[in-house]
Chain A
Amino acid sequence: DIQMTQSPSSLSASVGDRVTITCRASQSVSSSLNWYQQKPGKAPQLLIYAASSLQSGVPSRFSGSGSGTEFTLTISSLQPEDFATFYCQQSYDFPWTFGQGTKVEMK
């Protein structure tokens, strides 16, 4: 199985901050890397697919980059509605695997 490791596991930030979350794969997943946001009590929602493509309807302050084994999710200016848990997920090889999650909390 491909192991996905996110860092940090949690972070505290303020509205307006630039936030970066890293996801590392135990082997190359090419660009088959996706990012999801999950708010408490809600289903996950797709933010970024294929490492850097913004899902329709997602604000442009979200961006993704990387390929192979190293990926980042960046929120350029954190908004109140962005406080949530973020997960990366590889869809390169079965079984699909998720990172452990990064919880973004208000400072």
Chain B
Amino acid sequence: DADVTQTPRNRITKTGKRIMLECSQTKGHDRMYWYRQDPGLGLRLIYYSFDVKDINKGEISDGYSVSRQAQAKFSLSLESAIPNQTALYFCATSDYGWSQDYGYTFGSGTRLTVV
């Protein structure tokens, strides 16, 4: 099994619908992140969580919410999806502080299309 698992892998939804993207990890990391990737813009941080009770907004949090259900689970919700939220979404995890062995561990991504 992958260290960081995102579900679904692909999703098409209609404008105005609520949708949840899920992320679970087996790394045992405290810190989890949601990024979105758009062509030419790289990855931009939506929300991040340093532990179950610590959730923070990133640079583009408007229109999104998150839930940290457990150390291993971090979900991203679009309350009312709009077409410009069409993107590739990545979940990532990291250990406390900067590990000398690796930075982030990424999931394989969720490709979301809002029509």
Q: Do A and B bind each other?
A: no
Query: Interface on B for A, CB 8 Å cutoff?
Result: none
Query: Interface on A for B, CB 8 Å cutoff?
Result: none
